[in-house]
Amino acid sequence: MLTFHPQMFVRIEELGGPRAPQPLPLQSGFSADRLYRVLGMYNASESSDAFFILANDRDEMWFICQRHLRFGLLADTSAHHLPLLQAQASD
């Protein structure tokens, strides 16, 4: 079981190259200039990768490999994704 902070947000920093984990978030409805609330996490026992459950800009649920993500933490908000500049201004 994995636990996480309820106000944890991540930003997308997609890895490139032939060995990049799939799906590629920037080609799957996510934006590099937004923060996304972490809705959950899953760690597959057959790999060392954790997959974060995120809602993209089309409100689709995706499991995105942690290697594409960078940490962000915000004050209390009910939003599921935010423009990156707005989030930085609230720090």
DSSP conformational letter for 2: -
Decide if pLDDT at 91 tops 90.
Answer: no
Q: Which of 63, 75, 60, 15 is nearest to 38 (CA)?
A: 63
Q: Does pTM surpass 0.85? A: no
User: pLDDT-derived band of residue 1, with 50, 70 and 90 as boundaries?
Assistant: low
- The values of phi and psi at residue 84, to 5°, are -60, -45
From first CA to last CA, the distance across the chain in angstroms is 30
